[in-house]
Amino acid sequence: MKSIYLDNAATTKIDEEVIEVMHTSMQNNYGNPSSTHQYGRKAKSAIETARKNIAKQFNVSASEIIFTSSGTEADNLILYNAILNLGVQRIITSKIEHHAVTHTCNYLAKANNVSINYVDVDENGSIDLQHLEELLAKDSQKTLVSLMFINNEIGNILPIRAVCDLCKNYNALFHSDTVQAIGHYKIDLQESKVDFITASAHKFHGPKGVGFAFFRKGFGILPMIHGGEQEKGARSSTENVHAILGMQKALEIANKRIEIDKNYIEKLKFYFISELKKISEFIQFNGLSSELNKSSYTILNVRFPTQNNMLLFSLDLEGIAVSGGSACQSGSAKGSHVLSEILNQNDQDKTSIRFSFSKYTTKEEIDFVINSLKSKM
């Protein structure tokens, strides 16, 4: 049976060089980074070197990077601090954010009497910047705007500099979940004045179980996890040394190859779109995922002409791994909250599948998937 992996927005294959770095670390860095003896100091030094190298990739200082277990934890840490530490009284977000943001905002807002405003999105899932400005202008309460850089389901790219400018003009803080962008797009945090971003290593060919939060200098950080003074007091828990080093290596490789990989994957995505259109003129694309200059080159969300509840299952039986939405919602019968927000009921009832690509995807695999879909239409 074929084995074709087109669910890279959920997670990615780990680079061989990353595995080598982690394997070497497992052999040599077995000391606890909090220990004061030579084994601990060696592990601590490795972590701090990785922190500095990661910070350089974003043109920030090492002190602004806090290691976490995931992008979800990083989002939680930032939102927690915005409300409980930085005095935020209002959050402006959208209903198509990742649940790491929407669910956390809802919980924290109810627990702390903070208001939430939702910015409008159009039928393509694009943020209404005029409405965002209206929301910012109508209230003088201390505000945090939380909008993701790249939507994990439909791939839409946020006009992040325009949002930065609006937040600056209205003295609002700006948090962006950048999990789907890091490793695929260069981010210079001196050019884009985002206050907080998040990363998850397994989205750019690194290991699972490690990520980081960026807090722009000047913001104090209260920990969510207590019981130690790791991460300069921002996160108690012995650091995952091997995963941190793996993340740093994965980011280094990804950023070094960004243009090469982008050009390669974009061509595959364009080819896939053109071949899908040949199957049926009634195949549509959700959000802006078919527009190469307005969506991530790694994500394509396809809406088929009819409802086929067995399509995902039948593709899986042929060895084709794809997703009906965010992998974090696997097993849920609720469907995609993103698609339910932007599609009418008739289109929601049709089968939609997210295909997501990586540098390991091949044209031969795309052809196999196209032929498989042809047989099912």
Which residue, chain included where needed, has tokens 């997703």? 323
Q: Is 105 designated active site? A: no
**Tokens encoding 63:** 């002190």
In angstroms, the CA 125 to CA 326 distance is 15
How far apart CA 267 and CA 261 sit, in angstroms, is 10
> And the tokens for 216?
């722009």
| Cα(308)–Cα(350) distance, integer angstroms | 7
Question: What residues have CB less than 8 Å from 324, skipping those under 6 apart?
Answer: 312, 335, 336, 352, 353, 354
Name the nearest CA neighbour of 82 among 175, 194, 154. Answer: 175
Q: Which long-range contacts (CB under 8 A, 24 or more apart) does 38-43 make?
A: 43/241
Per annotation, catalytic residue among 105, 164, 167, 328 = 328
Helix (H, G, I), strand (E, B) or coil at 181: coil
User: 32 is written with which tokens?
Assistant: 């606890």
Say if CB 317 and CB 374 are below 8 A apart: no
Burial (Cβ within 10 Å: 0-12, 13-18, ≥19) of residue 275 = middle
Catalytically active residues, by annotation: 328
